[in-house]
Structure 1
Amino acid sequence: MPTQHSWLEKLTRAGFIGYGIVHLLFAYLIVRIAFGSRAADGDQSGAMQKLAESPFGVALIVTIIVGLVAMAVWQVLEIFEDRRLPERVASAGRAAFYLYLGWNGVKVLRSKPASSADTQQNAAEGLLGSGAGRVAVIAAGLIVVAIGAGLAIAGLTKRFERHLRVSRMTRATRNLLRRLGEVGFTAKGIAYGIAGVLFVTAALQYDPSKARGLDAALRALAGETYGFWLLLLVALGFLSYGLFSMAEAKYRKV
């Protein structure tokens, strides 16, 4: 990022901390789901709603929103850099996702429901009434599966290290972040993969209740024989991803 955008770099790095906090809260919600709670949606919007209940929740959410917008602007600028087409497409996708999370935060501040799970289900319910709509839901599911596969591959191959300033780390720090990245990216990828498969299933079975994104994926895991332990493993993964994201505030190439 050019020097003239140093202010944006600082906000972006702060954004990584906020992004990490959201994932830490998400891990907490997953643990609650494992113990049978249905009080909040098992996704990032549910995590922000939980954050709003804390004493300094509003201030933290405002900070997170500003950071997410900065991260989105950073990714938009990356689109116009001299990079390969897949990398530009990935930057566009990340920018859209950061803005989406930021908008959920705005809705929380306005005391409006920010359930992305409900939004996804309602949208799927409207689309499933037509053949073209079902195709759109299947396509969305396949895209989410592809995103999940990309995250899992990044974790298993340690590809995430390419984006870190490894030369500034001690050996111990690099080993720690490598482990956090491996576990975090892989677990997040698996969760997204399950969510994508459920989107496809929703279209094939005319069941919009399965098109609730990560929330549906976690509820599906909860219903398995070893659901409790599977959810705890996923929670550990998102905890790892959250800590990794917070470390990116210092070591990410921005």
Structure 2
Amino acid sequence: MDVEGALDDAGDADSADAHAAGRIVQQNPVYQTFVCVGLIAFGVMHLLIGWIALQIAWGGQGSDQQASGTGALQELAQKPGGKIALMVCAVGLFVLVLWQLIEAAIGHTHVTGKQRLGRRLGSLSKVVTYAVIGSAAARIAFGGGGGGGESQQESLVAQIMQNPAGRVLIGVIGLVVIVVGVFGIVKGVRRTFTEDLDGGVPDWAKTMGTLGYCAKGIAVGIVGFLFVWSAITFNAQAAGNTDSALRAIVQQPFGPYLLTAMAAGMAAFGLFSFVWAFNARHEKAR
């Protein structure tokens, strides 16, 4: 049996009614507006992460804030009108969840076979990302915390490592995260992110996308390394998030300069997200 053909058939196994309904939703102007809002919120979050990272690099007033999605949302909440902005962001991010669920179910029809399957699995991973950030935005907007942050993560890692195969599991998670980071860098260098765009965009936007995806890939890769190191040293506190990764960079030789470059990369991704917001690719009605 032709494996590529079998994967194509599996990818097209969805009912015609589901495809038609999904495309109708994706062509709805209200739906597309909220997708745009969600991607703008995603961009603002990365701009704030870049700003916090810059403060960490040079010991600014915001250096005690978390350089992560939650930290960026908490920073936004402190601004005038921040709570209202967070509510709008939360709605937009939850629409991004719906967007990627549809993409995972019937999307990426411009590619076939293994490539389509890989893209749909990638959309499923984005569902988790947008859902987590959207939930944090909603909690902060309504006066709750951001989800516990790094201390909650350390507690969870510690609990997992108490199990017989816990250290192995944490190590495997770290390796998977490293692979995800590498894929992000490759996506930036090869500029395959342009396939998520509908129509042409300026060269400067592509440059922002390249810098942004590479910076995010490096940060994710460092997070993965921290998880692997946590498993090797049997130290739950060694595992970290984006904030931990960025703070690890500043401890290296020429750390402030390296972290400044990373901050610029995060900001570049934020700017690219604004372009993406107005050029997001949606499945066309047939």
Task: Quickly name the TM-score band, shorter chain normalised.
Answer: over 0.9
Matched, 1:192 2:220: yes
Q: Give me the whole-angstrom Cα distance separating, in 2, the residues matched to 1:223 and 1:118.
A: 21
Confirm or deny: 8 A CA contact 1:199 1:213 kept in the other structure: no
1:251 aligns with: 279
1:143 aligns with: 176
1:124 aligns with: 157
Q: 1:214 aligns with which of 206, 229, 242?
A: 242
Matched to 1:175, the amino acid is D
Name the stretch that deviates more: 135-144 or 196-205.
135-144
Unaligned runs of 5+ in 1: none
Q: 2:190 aligns with which of 145, 157, 172?
A: 157
1:61 aligns with: 86
Kindly, what percent of the aligned residue pairs are identical? 28
Q: Residue by residue, what CA displacement relative to the aligned partner does 1:229-254 show, whole Å, maximum 9, x if unpaired?
A: 01100000000000000111111212
Q: 2:53 aligns with which of 14, 24, 30?
A: 30
Confirm or deny: 8 A CA contact 1:43 1:117 kept in the other structure: no
Matched, 1:107 2:139: yes
Matched, 1:41 2:47: no
Confirm or deny: 8 A CA contact 1:118 1:212 kept in the other structure: no
2:126 aligns with: 94
Q: Give me the whole-angstrom Cα distance separating, in 2, the residues matched to 1:225 and 1:65.
A: 39
Q: Residues 23, 252 of structure 1: CA spacing in aligned structure 2 closer, same or farther, 3 A cutoff?
A: same
- The alpha carbon displacement at 1:197 in A equals 0.6
Q: Give me the whole-angstrom Cα distance separating, in 1, the residues matched to 2:183 and 2:150.
A: 22
- The alpha carbon displacement at 1:2 in A equals 2.0
TM-score by length of 1: 0.93
Q: Give me the whole-angstrom Cα distance separating, in 2, the residues matched to 1:23 and 1:213.
A: 15
Q: 1:3 aligns with which of 10, 24, 48?
A: 24
When the two chains are superposed, the root-mean-square deviation of aligned CA atoms in Å is 1.5
Unaligned runs of 5+ in 2: 1-21, 109-115
User: SS where residue 56 of structure 2 aligns?
Assistant: helix
Q: Give me the whole-angstrom Cα distance separating, in 1, the residues matched to 2:135 and 2:151.
A: 15
Confirm or deny: 8 A CA contact 1:27 1:235 kept in the other structure: yes
Q: Residue by residue, what CA displacement relative to the aligned partner does 1:4-63 show, whole Å, maximum 9, x if unpaired?
A: 441222211111111100000110110111123642112110000111100110011111
User: SS where residue 252 of structure 2 aligns?
Assistant: coil
Q: When the two structures are aligned, how many residues end up with a matched partner?
A: 249
Confirm or deny: 8 A CA contact 1:52 1:61 kept in the other structure: yes
Confirm or deny: 8 A CA contact 2:52 2:63 kept in the other structure: no
- The alpha carbon displacement at 1:162 in A equals 1.4
Q: 2:205 aligns with which of 177, 200, 204?
A: 177
- The alpha carbon displacement at 1:100 in A equals 0.5
Matched, 1:201 2:229: yes
TM-score by length of 2: 0.83
- The alpha carbon displacement at 1:97 in A equals 0.7
